[in-house]
Structure 1
Amino acid sequence: MKMLRQLYESFVFAFTALKTNLLRTTLSLLGVTVGIFLIIAVYTLVDSLERNIKDSFSFLGADVVYVEKWPFVGGPDFPWWEYLKRPQATYQEYELLKENLVNQSGVAIISSVGSRTFKHGSNSIGTVNLTGSTYDYFKLQDTPIGTGRYFSMQEIEGGRPVAIIGHTVATSLFPNEPAIGNEIKHRGYKFKVIGVMQEAGESFLGITSNDEKIIIPFKAFQKLYLTGSKYEGIGARIGIGGVEGDTGLEQLISEIKGLLRPVRGLRPGEKDNFSINKPEAIADMVSGVFGVVNVAGTIIGLCAILIGGFGIANIMFVTVKERTPLIGIQKSLGAKNYVILAQFLFEALLLSLIGGFCGIILVYLLTFVPLGSLEIILTTKNIIIGVIIASLTGILSGLIPAAKAAKLDPVIAIRS
């Protein structure tokens, strides 16, 4: 109990000393403030960029794999000529996987074309992403319905001329009337609107969001565009939802290969002539790129922290010199070495923490700066990292001056 009281008194003493020398305190914590600001600002910006980029690819779904001609990611040695020879995913392969896969939560064949024009009366929109798919599409991708309904199985199987449209499409084609129940026209075909998707907002990467999308049954899409055949027409991909977790996804991939390879006439030892793409491959690539940026930001921030740490250490040496007679009096009255040590350590720690919190506050203010569609969020994890770095800086900077003060001989200290 006595030790706790002495440590508390040491903390109060340190706080009083910092208030007394306000100008020196302010100048000392500037280095730490700049260092913590740089480190946490870089971490926060990188985390925000990474999160926004990953959100831009959320339309691909989670725990989903896609069977298609091309892989999601390549590289400098990407052998595009090999992939060019591959056949497209077909409707027959979709039916095969739909009927025979065990470890799946949904299977859909999907085909899309961009920058299509749709009309209703005198209104038109020419930036539509038209997607044709089968019934399980909404099990695989995040496309919540705002008003209206989803396709029925009969509409999907019969290729009925019905459509689910995005928020921007609805406001452009139906500014003064409800979209549900009305018709839209494309390439001479009319489609009845049965649903409007919830507003998704602007995508960070400029990728077409659900707002500018129209979804129709896959067989209706085939009437407009040649797709779902082996070597001709617009490419299609087969999306398969897996069981949650890496193990379930790997089992699903093994099943897909076991079913598709014989159908495509591949002998043992031959390479697959199809790609099984996982959205997490894009996420891993993004994380790898930003990992490098994180390291660079940390190095720059640590340089500033190092300067700040030297500044605190220098001030603490001066403080020890100024208070040498007072230290002698304290020790002659019975103050233990650890009490003196704690006084100076607390002072250095408090100085560094104040600088750290100032840096974190500056980063927090940065989150209010408008940066278009990039949303900056200061996370609890980054705040904790900032506090830990500031604490370590204060302890390491004050350790040697505090140890020097604790070892002073009381008689020599009073004489000085």
Structure 2
Amino acid sequence: MNILQITNESVRFAWESLVANKVRTVLSLMGMTLGIFSIILVFSIVDTFTKSIRDSMESVGSDVVYIQKWPWGGGGGQWWKYFQRPEPTYEELTKLQHRLNTPEYAAFMMVISGNLNYRNNVTENVQMTGVSADYIDIWKTKIDNGRYFSPLESNNGRPVVLLGYDVAEGLFGALDPIGREIRVLGEKVTVIGVIAKEGSKMIGQSHDELILLPVNFMRRKVNEHQIQGAAIMLKAKEGISLDQMKAEVEGVMRGLRRLRPKAEDNFALNEISVIQSGAEMLFSVLWWAGVIIGGFALIAGGFGVANIMFVSVSERISQIGVQKALGARSSFILTQFLGEAVVLSLIGGFFGLSLTYLVLTIVNAQFDIELVLSFNNIMIGVFTSAFIGVIFGIFPALTASRKDPVEAMRAN
């Protein structure tokens, strides 16, 4: 019964403090509101992008090695050395397939930009990606309509194409694109599939705004040695670690390129974990920045709560005296005022969470992302608010509980 009574009186007194001096209360709780807003907003952003990174890694695979000209992560500023390296070639892929034992899938990829034509409809500067047959198994690409090209179509360079979801929509609108012909690189090709909608990704490329062509079709139309950004992709067999596969790949590649024992590699072996670790480091910095900025705001909000509570104690000294004269214990008075401080702090936290939700809703409506205010982050906001209320409300509550009843009743 005492718990219900204390809770009821704490809420009532907190509300009376709010109503009695609205401007003072709003200014005092503004720090709490901004503190919870800063921390929970950053937590929500970090959680969303971390999830996006993990989802992207699942689609690309953490067990994939990319043989490329340039290393990911900048390479320590030695750009001129990397610029002079040769691009990976399709011939190297075929030799690797015969000599390597650790990969389960191996694919070649080369990229150029160009225009697509369907009757009078033109889509400009589309990314045209020439890939070999295993590409779909490495990237786990899902087909929304139609099919992927066969190994025979890939090896023979047949004039077939898969369209990204947005490309198909832009070219054909409501029409079914399967079986229709479009002009690519000056030649008519038949649409055999549409890739499922993927949306933006933190890691790797989204297929929504590109097309996939058999790599040997592109090699007939474009000089392979003029391509910048070619890659050989290798996915490890089950039970084979990435380090095992990289060690084998490095040895075979050095043999293919006839590098002397002491010569440096003239190729890079890239993996998704390099990008992931860089992104996680960035998010860690962002996380701590949010905690520090929000922490200062919460401290300011805590002092605001303490200020409200000291004013509340001074205004209710005679009431405290009456309560003690009627038999109320110091612990009851302490708990009552401490509960009031927690309620005031929770009100500031509620406004902070509401502001966070409003900002996330606006951002989601304006940009192609989905920031979510998760239940866990809501609970963090609630418990943080309550904790600040306890920390900064304890001293005013102790002051009230230690009042002498006779002196308190004489105060007014």
What's the TM-score once normalised by structure 1's chain length? 0.84
1:61 paired residue number: 60
Residue pair 2:56, 2:201 contacting (<8 A) in 1 also: no
Residue from 211, 220, 224 that aligns with 2:217: 220
| SS of corresponding position for 2:366 | coil
- Relative distance call for 1:265 and 1:48 in structure 2 (3 A) is same
Kindly state the Cα deviation for residue 282 of structure 1 after the two structures are TM-superposed. Answer: 2.5
1:193-239 deviation line (CA, Å, top 9, x unaligned): 211222345x489x984233221111112111122x6xx65542011
Query: Structure 2: how far apart are the matches of 1:31 and 1:415?
Result: 36
Q: Is the 8 A contact 1:164 1:214 kept in 2?
A: yes
Counterparts of 1:411 and 1:176, CA distance in 2? 84
Instruction: Name the amino acid aligned to 2:31.
Output: G
CA 40–277 in structure 1, closer or farther in 2 if over 3 Å, else same = same
Aligned position for 1:40: 40
The aligned counterpart of 2:340 is 347
Q: Which amino acid aligns with 2:84?
A: K
What is the DSSP-based 3-state SS (H/G/I as helix, E as strand, rest coil) of the residue aligned with 1:216? Answer: strand
* Aligned CA distance change for structure 1 residues 411 and 176 (closer, same or farther; 3 Å): closer
Amino acid paired to 2:18:
L
Q: How far apart, in 1, do the equivalents of 2:303 and 2:39 lie?
A: 18
Q: Is the 8 A contact 1:42 1:297 kept in 2?
A: yes
Deviation at 1:57, TM superposition (A): 7.0
Contact 1:204–1:373 (CA under 8 A) maintained in structure 2: no
Are 1:170 and 2:168 counterparts? yes
The 3 A distance-change label for structure 1 pair 317 and 79 is: same
Deviation of 1:87 (Å):
2.2
Distance 1:59 1:183 in 2: 33
Q: Distance in 1 between matches of 2:126 and 2:205?
A: 8
* 1:98 partnered with 2:97: yes
Map residues 144-183 of structure 1 onto 2, 5 A cutoff.
144-175=142-173, 177-183=175-181
Query: Deviation of residue 295 (structure 1)?
Result: 3.5
> Match for 2:273: what amino acid?
E
Secondary structure of 2:93's counterpart equals helix
Show CA shifts across 1:367-393 (max 9, x none).
Answer: 221323244322334323322321221
Per the alignment, residue 132 of structure 2 pairs with 134
Superposed CA RMSD in Å reads 3.2
Superposed, 1:193-232 pairs within 5 Å as 193-201=191-199, 203=200, 209-227=206-224
Residue 7 (1) aligns with residue 6 (2): no
Aligned AA (1:323): R
For each residue in 1:58-103, what CA deviation from the matched residue of structure 2 results, as whole angstroms up to 9, or x when unmatched?
798232321111012217x510111122222122332344345454
Alpha-carbon distance change, 172 to 354 in structure 1, aligned in 2, over 3 angstroms: closer
- Cα deviation for residue 135 of structure 1 reads 1.3
Mapped to 1, the partners of 2:88 and 2:122 lie a distance apart of 32
Unpaired runs of 5+ in structure 1? none
Partners in 2 of 1:177 and 1:386 — Cα distance?
Answer: 49
Aligned residue type for 2:187: Y
How many residues align? The count is: 403
Structure-to-structure mapping, 1:187-336, within 5 angstroms: 187-201=185-199, 203=200, 209-227=206-224, 233-242=227-236, 248-336=241-329
Answer with 105-114 or 122-131: which moved more: 122-131
Q: Does 1:396 align with 2:391?
A: yes
Tell me if the contact between 1:49 and 1:374 (Cα under 8 Å) persists in the aligned partners.
Answer: no
Amino acid of the residue matched to residue 404 of structure 1?
T
Structure 1 residues 266 and 391: CA distance shift in structure 2, 3 A: farther
Return closer, same or farther for 1:391/1:59 CA change in 2, 3 Å cut-off: closer
- Structure 2 CA distance for partners of 1:168 and 1:412, relative to 1, 3 Å: closer
Match of 1:386 among 381, 398, 405: 381
Q: 1:243 to 1:403 in 2, by over 3 A?
A: farther
- Structure 2 length normalisation: TM-score? 0.85
Unaligned regions of 5+ residues in structure 2, if any? none
Distance 1:136 1:322 in 2: 77
Percent identity of paired positions between Structure 1 and Structure 2: 38
In the superposition, relative to structure 1, how do residues 124 and 118 fare at CA in structure 2: closer, same or farther (>3 Å)?
Answer: same
Whole-Å separation in 1 of the counterparts to 2:179 and 2:164: 15
